[in-house]
Amino acid sequence: MIASAPGKIILFGEHAVVYSRHALVSAINLRCRVEVKKSDGFRIISPLGVTTLDFKVHPYVSYSIKRFCELKEIKGAEIRIESDIPIASGLGSSSAVTVATIKAMNEEFNIGLSEEDVFEMARKVEIDVQGRGSGIDPFISTFGGSWIFPKRKKVDLCLDLFVLKLWERSTKEMVEKVALLRQKYGEIVERIFDAIDCITLRASECRIEEFDELIKMNQSLLRALGVSSQQIDELVARLEKEGFIVKITGAGGGGCLYGVFTGKKPQGSFLVRTNAEGVKIEDS
Ligand code: MEV
């Protein structure tokens, strides 16, 4: 059985959403495909290597199977993964592989999980691996479209965005970094989250002509949270001189920058379209 799930782009609100503020998120037209076949024993085949259950090389897939086996004991499965989504870049590759694995396992072993069950299981897997998380990534990979999260308000947001990939980094480390800042400067950091929340709610009215200003403000606040870096700040400033307004999307510290595409894009960037379909079964 083959299932595919989309990557995502957080337009506004990353990090603040971990502390119950809103984020505006959309599924993008890059997908991860996972094929599951019943087998004796477990084998995971991906661009990262071929392993059995391996919580270091394939943490998200291995925890997905572990969680799945709590529902139904199975002898094994061969799991084959291919993905268009760059890994460790803030575009939701981990959640896409998790959600697609659970969906394909569900179909192959005929368990009857609903989309809501798939989301709940993927959310547990995110916590298993990262220790902390808002659930926004598994949510959007499961349901697709564009949403204000965690309110679950659907928005109509069909946009072309340019994305500039920087270097890989760990979401877990960036989320921990913000948690430490919050421990030290509780009141200040809560106000930064509140300001990000206001930006997200304003953006959710979908007046696209305001996006560049809101992107600038959100980027400054991410910098205040310590998830930008000197190199990123310099790049943001250089792009601004060239006429491109960008912000980090996802956990930061590297990952990706995005901006609204209006006919030209920065050198080295690629285009994505928002509002993609959520997890689905593919014809084999
Ligand atoms: C990661 O895609 C987004 C963060 O806000 C973490 C989370 O919400 O779980 C940084």
Q: Enumerate residues 6+ apart whose C-beta is below 8 A from 120.
A: none
Protein residue closest via CA to atom 8 of ligand 1: 134
Q: Enumerate residues 6+ apart whose C-beta is below 8 A from 152.
A: none
Quick: pLDDT tens for 146-172: 999 999 999 999 999 999 999 999 999
The pLDDT of residue 180 is: 98
Place 207 in a pLDDT band, splitting at 50, 70 and 90: confident
> From the CA of 16, how far away is ligand 1's center (Å)?
8
Protein residue closest via CA to atom 2 of ligand 1: 250
Quick: pLDDT tens for 11-47: 999 999 999 999 999 999 999 999 999 999 999 999 9
Other CB atoms within a 10 A radius of the CB of residue 50 amount to 12
Ligand 1: lining residues by beta carbon, under 6 Å: 10, 14-15, 17-18, 90, 133-134, 136-137, 171, 175, 250-251
> Which of helix, strand or coil describes residue 42?
strand
DSSP one-letter string for 99-125: HHHHHHHHHHTT----HHHHHHHHHHH
Inform me whether the pLDDT recorded for 206 exceeds 80: no
Q: Please state which of the ranges 76-80, 180-184, 211-215, 280-284 shows the lowest mean pLDDT.
A: 280-284
Residue with tokens 């391996």: 54
- Residue of 155, 187, 172 whose CA lies nearest to 59: 172
Pairing of strands 76-83, 41-46: parallel
The pLDDT of residue 284 is: 74
> From the CA of 171, how far away is ligand 1's center (Å)?
7
Pocket test for ligand 1, best of 11, 134, 141, 172 (most atoms within 8 A of CB): 134
Average pLDDT value for the chain: 96
Asked if the bond preceding 150 is cis, omega within 30° of 0, the reply is yes
Q: Which residues are catalytic?
A: 137
Inform me whether the pLDDT recorded for 283 exceeds 90: no
Give the chain's domain count. Answer: 1
What is d(CA 80, CA 163) in angstroms, rounded to the nearest whole number?
Answer: 27
Quick: pLDDT tens for 120-135: 999 999 999 989 899 9
What is d(CA 86, CA 129) in angstroms, rounded to the nearest whole number?
Answer: 19
Find the domain containing 90 and state its range.
1-284
pTM for the complete prediction? 0.95
Quick: pLDDT tens for 229-276: 999 999 999 999 999 999 999 999 999 999 999 999 999 999 999 999
Percent pLDDT > 90 in the chain is 95
CATH number for the domain harbouring residue 237: 3.30.230.10
- CB distance 21 to 55 below 8 Å: no
Place 80 in a pLDDT band, splitting at 50, 70 and 90: very high
The minimum-distance atom of ligand 1 relative to the CA of 132 is: 9
The pLDDT of residue 88 is: 86
The minimum-distance atom of ligand 1 relative to the CA of 252 is: 10
> From the CA of 133, how far away is ligand 1's center (Å)?
6
What is d(CA 202, CA 197) in angstroms, rounded to the nearest whole number?
Answer: 9
Inform me whether the pLDDT recorded for 278 exceeds 90: yes
Sequence-ordered strand ranges (E) for 105-215: 146-149, 153-154, 160-165
User: Residue 178 region, left (φ>0) first, then alpha (ψ -120 to 50), else beta?
Assistant: alpha
The minimum-distance atom of ligand 1 relative to the CA of 135 is: 9
The pLDDT of residue 143 is: 98
Quick: pLDDT tens for 217-237: 999 999 999 999 999 999 999
